Structure 1
Amino acid sequence: MSTPIRVLLVDDSAAMRALLRELLADTQDIAVIGEAADAYEARERIKALNPDVITLDVEMPRMNGLRFLENLMRLRPTPVVMVSSLTAKGAQTTLQAFALGAVEVLQKPAGTTNAELAAAKDELVRAIRAASKSRPRMRMAEPVNPAKFAGNVATASRFCLIGASTGGTEAIREVLERWRLPDVAVLIVQHIPPAFSASFAERLDRSSPLFVRHAVDGQALQAGHAYVAPGGLHMRIVRARGGYAIRLDESPPVNRHRPAVDVLFDSAMAFKRDCIAAVLLTGMGDDGARGMEALHNSGVFTIAQDEATSIVWGMPGVAVSLGAADRVVPLQHVAQTVADAARTRSSSSPAAGRYSEKRISP
């Protein structure tokens, strides 16, 4: 039997630590090896116990979770799952935790029914398992207010699709910071709680040359704009007068997610000639991989983030295993690869079909 994932619980609430310990008690591949009530106690426990994963509260006395996380990632990078009260008010703080290197952020268990506790346990176990396989790294601070693409209010006739999960908030930010195409609309599905998605879109807007918007049902796609699927809603692309629009709905989760990447990718199949690329970035699981395979097989250019730069090489890794990726590239090359694909497509005749050079990078 493999060695269990060794977890340290850090929270100033003894009751919350006890609940987290109870939720993990009968999970055979996870072992809680210690607890800490604040950052200073956590520092000593980490030195003594060398945990594989740390769960960390944001609001703590003496030193808050963000400051502790920043110090940890600088001095002793360790996979961290933030367990916080997820509210719209605290969304910017929690997004900063992602920027500092947190692998995942979860809602503190609040319900008391068996079903609510079972759901909280499932999310906690999933996050800890993902964190144990991750490559934690501290992110650089994002640039503020970059120059926006000027004068683009035209209806978008071409679009790009991006899907991501664990580690994706920062990966998407890096892709959009390097974006080269002012005449393309970008549709983004990131697995994210409803309380965070609007703030996530605002944060991307501050660091990207694109105008990044929290998607609204019926919204027409505009060139030079990116649209983030709201947490808790699936996003599809649909034909609208003169171009394309967004359709949002609360249909059942797909691959356990809503929004799901596969839902967006599948919706684009009817409009594949105007899809310049479909991109899968870091994330646990396989959401988006089969949708990417279908797009790939229909002639859409497809890109997967490589393993070395992924926090968790789940979704893009499955796509690669299915043969669904035309290119496998480091995160810092994704935006340029999309731009190259757009130029290749614009210079090819509609009859040319798939790109003449199909290459898989090492």
Structure 2
Amino acid sequence: MRKKNQISVLIVDDSQSFREMVAKKLVVDPQIQVVATACDAFDARDKILKYDLDLIVCDQEMPKMSGVEFIKRLLPQYPIPVVIVSGNPKIGPEARAVGAMDFVEKPNGVSSKTFEDFLLELILKIRLAVKSRVILPVQKPILQRIENNHIQQISGNGRSSDRLIAIGASTGGTEAIYHILKNLRVDSPGILIVQHIPPVFSKMFAERMDAQTPLQCKEAQSGDYLESGRVYIAPGDQHMRIKRIGVKYRVEVFAGEKVNGHCPSVDTLFDSVAREAGHRAIGVLLTGMGSDGARGLLEIRRKGGYTIGQDEASSVVYGMNKVAYNMGAVSVQSALENIHQHIFTALKE
């Protein structure tokens, strides 16, 4: 029987010995209970219907359907956080881009990682995933998309605005960004996003945001002009900045050296936003490791812009946003679930 406050977990892996070993070892954490195991994605679907689950640990390499495909095809119907495991570390960015809460590399003959190392990391990431309580959304119905397009036409979507929203994030940021975008209005000012993410996966992330939020989202290209209700996500291997042209803002993406260890860099975007938009800008810095974006957020605030930092309790990693808060770059610090409300407030001023 499931105890109060325990995390109920389903383990999905085609290897019976691996399933049994993980299920047996996870009991070392009294807060985790493995309620079921499954041998493939279709077996997992049946278990999802049978059990009340808090999280799924899913192998990437499985017959019939891979872990990434499982997330893309089945989980939009069943909004449960997923941690993908694989012996291939390159799967991590792809898994996160399509909605996995996190990734853990399996021990193999190539790496020095032991099963004990794997288990400790898995336990930590199960706890973090459930703590953040961010889950995959139900796919947006066609009728809702039609209604949103109608609202966009009424509200004048497609027109430029002298207001803009700039968002920066790193570790844990893809789900934090989703949570904000899904709650914004379709007549919101143009939104610029830098998420630390590898190339190719930035396009997948943009496509996911386009499908699962009311806004029109795309991977940014040089020559794009900001329009209301539209979101521009920096390519995974290029910086992004803006240039004010009359009453409009033009997007520029370009290759360059890493800034603060990253390309794209949040600071590169925020610096241009402070310079070109000033008091018309709203800057948002979310969860992430390091300090990228903190200095740029301070510049936005110095130029009269409104700045928001995600708080520690709702962050997967309280790093970039912590540095920004400590240096006085944050107008208001907020839990993730309330950030969209602060954006609404700032837009009324």
Note whether the superposition's TM-score is higher than 0.5: yes
Aligned to 1:150: 152
The number of residues matched between the two structures is 287
Distance in structure 2 (CA, Å) of the matches to 1:79 and 1:318: 28
1:174 and 2:179 correspond: yes
Cα-to-partner distance string for 1:21-65 (whole Å, 9 max, x where unaligned): xxxxxxxxxxxxxxx973333222333589x9xx98522469965
Secondary structure of the structure 2 residue equivalent to 1:206:
helix
Letter of the 1:142 counterpart: P
State which of 59, 62, 77 in structure 1 corresponds to 2:61.
59
Distance 1:64 1:211 in 2: 28
When residues 81 and 337 of structure 1 are mapped into structure 2, their CA distance, relative to the original with a 3 A threshold, is farther
2:338 aligns with: 333
Matched, 1:258 2:260: no
Within the candidate set 203, 219, 225, 1:214 is matched to 219
Matched, 1:203 2:196: no
Alpha-carbon distance in structure 1 between the residues aligned to 2:85 and 2:300: 33
Structure 1 counterpart of 2:134: 139
Q: Distance in 2 between matches of 1:342 and 1:219?
A: 23
What residue in structure 1 maps to residue 21 of structure 2?
41
Determine helix, strand or coil for the equivalent of 2:221. Answer: coil
Matches within 5 A, 1:17-32: none
Is the 1:305–1:328 contact (alpha carbons within 8 Å) kept by the matching residues of 2? yes
Compared CA separation, residues 314 and 323, structure 1 to 2 (3 A): same
Q: Are the aligned partners of 2:98 and 2:204 in contact in 1 as well (CA < 8 Å)?
A: no
Aligned partner of residue 296 in structure 1, secondary structure: helix
Deviations 1:92-135 (A, max 9, x none): x543452xx32x578x99xx9xxxx9xxxxxxxxxx7xx67983
Q: Aligned partners of 2:128, 2:287: CA distance in 1, in Å? A: 11
Question: Are 2:249 and 1:244 aligned?
Answer: yes
Q: Deviations over 1:123-178 (max 9, x none)?
A: xxxxx7xx679832253331415434412111232211000111111110010111
**Percent of residue pairs bearing the same amino acid type:** 34
Letter of the 1:254 partner, please give it: V
SS at structure 2 position matched to 1:135: helix
Check the 8 A contact 2:59/2:84 in 1, yes or no.
no
- Structure 1 residue runs of 5 or longer lacking an equivalent are 1-9, 13-35, 118-127, 345-362
Change (3 A) 1:320 1:196: same
Question: Is 2:97 the partner of 1:95?
Answer: yes
Measure the CA separation in 2 of the matches of 1:247 and 1:62: 42
- Post-superposition offset of 1:334: 0.6
Q: Is the 8 A contact 1:163 1:280 kept in 2?
A: yes
Match of 2:191 among 182, 186, 203: 186
Instruction: Name the aligned partner's letter for residue 269 of structure 1.
Output: A
The answer for the alignment partner of 1:22 in structure 2 is none
Task: Report deviation, 1:82.
Answer: 6.3
For 1:248 and 1:321, the matched residues in 2 are separated by 30
Q: Following superposition of structure 1 onto structure 2, how do residues 81-92 of structure 1 map, counting pairs within 5 Å?
A: 84=88, 86=90, 91=94
1:281 to 274, 278, 286: 286
Separation in 2, partners of 1:105, 1:186: 31
CA displacement at 1:251 relative to structure 2: 0.3
1:343 matched to 2:348: yes
**Aligned mates of 1:250, 1:238 — CA distance in 2:** 17
In 2: Cα distance, 1:228 partner to 1:247 partner: 12
Assess if the C-alpha contact under 8 Å between 2:287 and 2:310 holds in 1. yes
- Conservation of the 8 A alpha-carbon contact between 2:60 and 2:84: no
The answer to whether structure 1 residue 160 and structure 2 residue 165 are counterparts is yes
AA paired with 1:162? I
- Tell me, in whole angstroms, the C-alpha distance in 2 between the residues paired with 1:270 and 1:164: 20
SS of alignment partner, residue 200 of structure 2: helix
Counterpart residue number, 1:235: 240
- What TM-score do the two structures reach when normalised by structure 2? 0.69
